[in-house]
């Protein structure tokens, strides 16, 4: 009913999110608690803010029934420490304490974004940057992922480099590069205002999913199960895999873009293993009803987890920016037989700060002699080998009889008590015993 919609809007306006950050409760992590009236997408916004700060979410408790929403995150910085930087704490409070969502970086305002997908091959990213260098385009930021033989890339160009005629020529040349083998799915390239790309990593997930990389099966895949709790009208998604940075963001982002709402959930890490469980429904309130849909959700989540899980040597480039820098560096990778599996390109002022994850042409580990040759060509002072920052997770003893299976039966028991308590507190059931 229309009046009910207006009432919900009034409730949201009168109840802006309340954010509490506490360093005293937990000895190993900082607690970030968000309470608010329920609004579509608020969970994704909260996880996105924490992920963009490179914070690790070691535990989380999610509850969103009735008209109210509560999240509790146990977070640490990239080195496994509590949050002590006042500027970081203030940013979290300001970003999560408003319905406007995370602020968009001012550096991307007024830019043009190029979105590319296509069949990956050795040197393709180098060819893309070579075309942009030849067209005298200035790349402000770029993100590129490869997964199961496909490439997705978002490149932000300065506004003065993106008049209509030049953009048309750029699209024509890049489209030729991405045409690929006629037997494979065709590539695509498009130009959109940067304001239309809400979040680069989320957009890469969307581009990969639209390119149907989840249909290109690879083994082994992360353990994902989708079960039914018909009594309460929920579908239960259980994810169990190796923990890594931004894992929760990738899962929540995928569920949101598939038009599912998370009503309850838990996240727990033991050593380097993560277990995530979510009680979900469609946006219209209905659970998953068909086996085909359960399989589809499982495949999409497996693909989302894998996209950022690729192993490779992390090369960090920090050097004064100049025209053609990306073209020269990626061409050097190609000439030494290296495949760029993932790239994160950014410029701050006159300095280029880039991260590349590289493998050999077959996707295997790179020989040290190839890394040494690349560093010698690019500059040993500005191109260094780095390690993926991983938190030193708190390790708790696991009971000997703990079930580490991937089935959803344990998940229903594990999270069911939490859900029942929340339903009881909200007055939706008479007893939680």
CA distance 123 to 105: 30
Res 431: pLDDT: 40
Give the E-state strand segments of 259-364 in sequence order: 260-270, 273-282, 313-320, 338-348, 351-360
Which of 70-79, 93-102, 154-163 has the weakest average pLDDT? 93-102
**Confidence label for 140 from pLDDT (cuts 50, 70 and 90):** very high
Assigned token pair, 146: 């490869």
Mean pLDDT within 34-54: 91
Percent of the chain with pLDDT over 70: 83
Which of 152-166, 247-261, 329-343 has the weakest average pLDDT? 152-166
**Confidence label for 103 from pLDDT (cuts 50, 70 and 90):** low
Q: Is the pLDDT of residue 3 over 50?
A: no
Give the E-state strand segments of 100-158 in sequence order: 112-119, 139-147, 150-157
Res 106: pLDDT: 62
CA distance 102 to 44: 10
CA distance 98 to 46: 11
- The 3-state DSSP class for residue 153 equals strand
Res 346: pLDDT: 94
Mean pLDDT within 120-136: 94
- The 3-state DSSP class for residue 15 equals coil
Mean pLDDT within 92-113: 78
CA distance 388 to 200: 20
Res 99: pLDDT: 63
- Report in angstroms the alpha-carbon separations of 87 from 92, 105, 361, 411: 9, 16, 42, 38
Burial 243-282 (b: 16+ CB within 10 A, else e): bbbbbbbbbbbbbbebebbbbbbbbbbbeeebbbbbbbbe
The full set of domain ranges for the chain reads 2-100+219-307, 106-215+309-386
Mean pLDDT within 7-18: 61
Mean pLDDT within 242-262: 96
Q: Is the pLDDT of residue 394 over 70?
A: no
Res 412: pLDDT: 42
Q: How far is CA 37 from the centre of its chain?
A: 25
Q: Is the pLDDT of residue 254 over 50?
A: yes
Report how many helices (DSSP H) and strands (DSSP E) the chain contains, helices first. 11, 16
Res 406: pLDDT: 36
Mean pLDDT within 167-183: 88
CB atoms within 10 A of CB 120: 23
Q: Is the pLDDT of residue 77 over 50?
A: yes
CA distance 262 to 43: 8
Res 371: pLDDT: 95
Task: State pLDDT tens for residues 260-300.
Answer: 999 999 999 998 999 999 999 999 999 999 999 999 999 99
Res 430: pLDDT: 41
Mean pLDDT within 138-163: 90
Which of 122-136, 187-201, 380-394 has the weakest average pLDDT? 380-394
Q: Is the pLDDT of residue 105 over 80?
A: no
Task: State pLDDT tens for residues 406-418.
Answer: 334 434 444 444 4
CB of 236 closer than 8 Å to CB of 277 = yes
Res 338: pLDDT: 93
Burial of 357 (0-12, 13-18, 19+ CB in 10 A): buried
Closest CA to 146 of 93, 237, 207, 188: 207
Mean pLDDT within 124-146: 95
Average confidence score pLDDT of the chain: 85
Mean pLDDT within 57-70: 87
CA distance 41 to 43: 5
CB of 227 closer than 8 Å to CB of 236 = yes
Q: Report the CATH architecture of 106-215+309-386.
A: 2-Layer Sandwich (3.30)
CA distance 313 to 380: 15
Res 367: pLDDT: 92
Res 116: pLDDT: 97
């Amino acid at each position: 009913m229309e009046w009910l919609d207006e009432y919900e809007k009034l409730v949201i306006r009168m109840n802006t999110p309340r954010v509490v950050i506490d360093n005293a409760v937990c000895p190993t992590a900082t607690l970030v608690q968000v309470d608010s009236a329920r609004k579509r997408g608020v969970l994704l916004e909260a996880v996105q803010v924490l992920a963009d700060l490179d914070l690790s979410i070691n535990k989380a408790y999610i509850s969103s029934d009735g008209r109210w929403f509560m999240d509790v995150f146990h977070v640490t910085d990239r080195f496994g420490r509590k949050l002590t930087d006042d500027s970081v704490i203030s940013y979290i409070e300001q970003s999560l304490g408003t319905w406007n969502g995370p602020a968009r970086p001012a550096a991307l305002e007024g830019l043009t974004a190029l979105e590319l997908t296509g069949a990956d091959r050795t040197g393709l990213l180098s060819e893309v940057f070579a075309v942009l260098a030849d067209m005298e385009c200035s790349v402000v930021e770029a993100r590129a992922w490869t997964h199961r033989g496909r490439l997705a890339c978002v490149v932000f160009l300065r506004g003065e480099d993106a008049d209509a005629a030049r953009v048309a020529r750029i699209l024509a040349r890049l489209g030729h590069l991405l045409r690929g083998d006629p037997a494979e799915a065709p590539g695509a390239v498009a130009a959109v205002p940067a304001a239309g790309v809400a979040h680069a990593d989320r957009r890469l997930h969307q581009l990969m999913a639209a390119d149907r990389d989840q249909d290109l099966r690879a083994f082994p895949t992360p353990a994902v199960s989708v079960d039914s709790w018909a009594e309460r009208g929920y579908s239960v998604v259980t994810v169990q895999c190796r923990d890594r940075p931004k894992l929760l963001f990738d899962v929540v982002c995928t569920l949101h873009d598939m038009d599912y709402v998370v009503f309850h959930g838990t996240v727990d890490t033991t050593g380097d293993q993560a277990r995530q469980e979510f009680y979900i429904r469609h946006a219209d309130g209905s659970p998953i009803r068909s086996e085909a849909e359960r399989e589809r959700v499982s495949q999409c989540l497996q693909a989302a987890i894998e996209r950022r899980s690729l192993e490779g040597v992390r090369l960090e480039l920090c050097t004064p920016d100049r025209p053609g820098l990306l073209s020269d560096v990626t061409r050097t990778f190609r000439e030494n037989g290296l495949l760029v599996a993932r790239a994160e390109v950014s410029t701050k002022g006159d300095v280029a700060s880039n991260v590349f994850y590289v493998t050999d042409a077959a996707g295997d580990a790179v020989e040290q002699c190839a890394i040494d040759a690349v560093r010698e060509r690019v500059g040993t002072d500005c191109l260094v080998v780095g390690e993926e920052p991983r938190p030193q997770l708190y390790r708790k003893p696991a009971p000997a009889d703990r079930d580490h299976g991937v089935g959803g039966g344990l998940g229903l028991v594990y999270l069911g008590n939490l859900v029942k308590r929340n339903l009881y507190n909200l007055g939706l059931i008479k007893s939680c015993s």
